[in-house]
Amino acid sequence: MTVDSVDAPVTKPQQSRPVDGLFLKELVEAGLTWLRTNQKVVNALNVFPVPDGDTGTNMVLTMQSAYNEISQLGHKNVGQMASAVAQGALMGARGNSGVILSQLWRGFARGLHNHDVLDASVLAHALAEARDTAYKGVVRPVEGTILTVSKDVAAAAEAALHETQDLAEMLKRIVQAADTSVQNTPELLPVLKQAGVVDSGGKGLYFILEGMLRYVNGQPLDVALTTVQPLSALNLEDTLETIEPGQDYEVVVDFYPQQPLDLQAFYTRLEQMGTSIQVGEGEGMYRMHIHVPTEKRYEPIDYIMELGTITKVAMENLLAQMRDIESGASAKLELAAIEPGQIAVVAVSPGLGLSRIFASLGVAAIVHGGQTMNPSTKDILEAFENLPTDKVIILPNNKNIILAAQQAKEVTVKDVAIVPSRTIPQGLAAMLAFNPDGELALVAEKMNQALTTVKTGEITVATRSVEIDGVQVAKGEVIALLDGKLVLSAASVEEACLGLLEKASAAEHELITLFAGEDLSSGEANRIADVIRAAYPTQEIELQDGGQPHYQFLISIE
């Protein structure tokens, strides 16, 4: 299984050699590369038709962190290399899928402890340790998820031991077992079957393993697309959600080719320049999007000039944009000043307006992120490690961030409590019960109790057509979720808000708070708030600027 260079295109099967630390490093990169190639496929496997299909992104970022940890290491000992992979995955873990993936690597590394090389029996043992560690890391394991796939993979490795000692053959059987397991997830988890999808985390794990197998077999890991999208289908809005190493500039070029475009050759050439390649076409005009390193920022333009006539070029410094976003997220926030011995609260927030509200309630640190951008274990850890107190409470404010918060708790020497808020309104309700001078366990318990005092509504636009829980949704319709459950679809944001409030029995409550998203104009937000005031004249109606992406309104009902 030797190779001349991991970065070189794989063109022939790898010859057999002992799987030491250096070869494991190559396999990790192969798994990462193939997962990234299929990132959008994993993201699309979302049960609800909401714009938070980020499992693929979370798993890619977790694997990227794992590889970054080992990219400069030369450990020949496979156990030492695996330990470094696990450490990188731990700190970079994002979202539930990323955290479970990091736990799989942690168990895998434990199974390789004190081993110089990987053989068939050691592989089977390491996969069993990976499975056990991941299951133990989840309070209530759910079958039909990435956990089930890890279990079936371990079983396949154990079964293969009785028939072969060849690692390549074992890997082939493992990948086959992962594929079968993923296809079976809807039979184990009814919500998947209802939505017509397989489990996204399990699919991501399958792609990682398949990438390793493809590398061993000499198959390409970055297969070029051979079709283009309509211009109207191009989605360039979310390309900033992940800026990977080497993605310094975003280049978008509109052009008319002189000859019919050879798409295969076009993609192949672009892949030599950068990543995040998208191509759209409409009425003979093509639009090309790519992320490139600084030194290659003009190469796509020069190349396309050879193919035809350029009508428009746009170039953006991605690193500068990300700095602006990150600085903007924390700008003008008057965070609570914490004295030694007091309790500091760290809150995850998806919008500047929401961050300001959290700050006004006494939060000491804000972690930017939320529904479509889950922060990593490291992000959460860095938010409180330098605070002048050893007492910390974390408000994840999203169900997909709770596990990362728990991992941050495990790797710090500070006394940390997790108040498992699953929504922004829950987090705000918890802050109303916060006392910085109280005893940590008692304060956390009171804040935890406050989570039950509020109902959460979410208004967004459906990303695909589906029927869930008897609610028929067409792509592009406005939908409403109540405490995480899809409850209705509507033709307008106003209609969705009114319908959701009726479903929530809002007339029986006292306060309705609307947090307007960044995509909703202030005029429209005020107009809808006035409509709701007219419909609920005895309730107090508040309108706040939330600034969250993708969701026109987050609604708190208490």
Residues 6+ apart with CB under 8 A from 449: 433
pLDDT grade for 10, boundaries at 50, 70 and 90 = very low
Share above pLDDT 70 across residues of the chain, in percent, rounded to a whole number? 89
The yes-or-no verdict on residue 422 having pLDDT over 50 is yes
The yes-or-no verdict on residue 29 having pLDDT over 90 is yes
Q: What is the pLDDT of residue 14?
A: 54
The domains located in the chain, with CATH, are 21-216 (1.25.40.340), 229-322 (3.30.70.260), 332-453 (3.40.50.510), 455-557 (3.30.1180)
**pTM for the whole thing?**
0.78
The yes-or-no verdict on residue 497 having pLDDT over 60 is yes
Could you write out the DSSP letters of every residue in 459-472? EEE-SS-EEETTEE
Q: What is the pLDDT of residue 316?
A: 83
Tell me what the pLDDT averaged over the chain comes to: 88
Q: What is the pLDDT of residue 12?
A: 44
Lowest mean pLDDT among 261-265, 362-366, 509-513, 549-553: 261-265
Lowest mean pLDDT among 11-25, 65-79, 353-367, 391-405: 11-25
pLDDT grade for 16, boundaries at 50, 70 and 90 = low
pLDDT mean over 168-179: 96
As a whole number of angstroms, the distance between CA 555 and CA 544 comes to 10
Cα–Cα distances in angstroms (integers) from residue 367 to residues 60, 330, 361, 373, 410, in the given order: 20, 9, 15, 11, 18
The yes-or-no verdict on residue 262 having pLDDT over 90 is no
Share above pLDDT 90 across residues of the chain, in percent, rounded to a whole number? 67
The first and second tokens of residue 93, run together, are: 């873990």
The yes-or-no verdict on residue 323 having pLDDT over 80 is no
| 37 or 199, higher pLDDT | 199
Could you write out the DSSP letters of every residue in 327-347? HHHHTT--PPPPPTTSEEEEE
Q: What is the pLDDT of residue 9?
A: 38
pLDDT grade for 93, boundaries at 50, 70 and 90 = very high
Dihedral sign computed on CA atoms, order 5, 7, 9, 14: positive
pLDDT grade for 53, boundaries at 50, 70 and 90 = low
pLDDT mean over 486-513: 96
The yes-or-no verdict on residue 330 having pLDDT over 70 is no
pLDDT mean over 178-206: 93
As a whole number of angstroms, the distance between CA 64 and CA 327 comes to 24
The yes-or-no verdict on residue 405 having pLDDT over 60 is yes
Lowest mean pLDDT among 42-46, 160-164, 284-288: 42-46
Lowest mean pLDDT among 37-46, 319-328, 355-364, 485-494: 319-328
Residue-wise over 64-74: b if at least 16 C-beta within 10 A, else e? bbbbebbeeee
As a whole number of angstroms, the distance between CA 396 and CA 455 comes to 17
The first and second tokens of residue 309, run together, are: 């006539």
The yes-or-no verdict on residue 516 having pLDDT over 70 is yes
Query: Strand order in 540-545's β-sheet?
Result: 485-490, 478-482, 455-461, 553-557, 511-516, 540-545
Q: What is the pLDDT of residue 247?
A: 67
Q: For residue 298, give the amino acid letter.
A: Y
Q: What is the pLDDT of residue 358?
A: 95
Reported as a single tens digit per residue, the pLDDT across 440-480 is 999 999 999 999 999 999 999 988 888 888 899 888 899 99
pLDDT mean over 297-318: 91
As a whole number of angstroms, the distance between CA 251 and CA 248 comes to 10
pLDDT mean over 185-203: 92
The yes-or-no verdict on residue 322 having pLDDT over 80 is no
pLDDT mean over 344-351: 94
Are 309 and 327 spatial neighbours (Cβ–Cβ below 8 Å)?
Answer: no
Reported as a single tens digit per residue, the pLDDT across 116-157 is 999 999 999 999 999 999 999 888 899 999 999 999 999 999
Dihedral through CA 119, CA 125, CA 126, CA 127, nearest 10? 110
The yes-or-no verdict on residue 263 having pLDDT over 90 is no
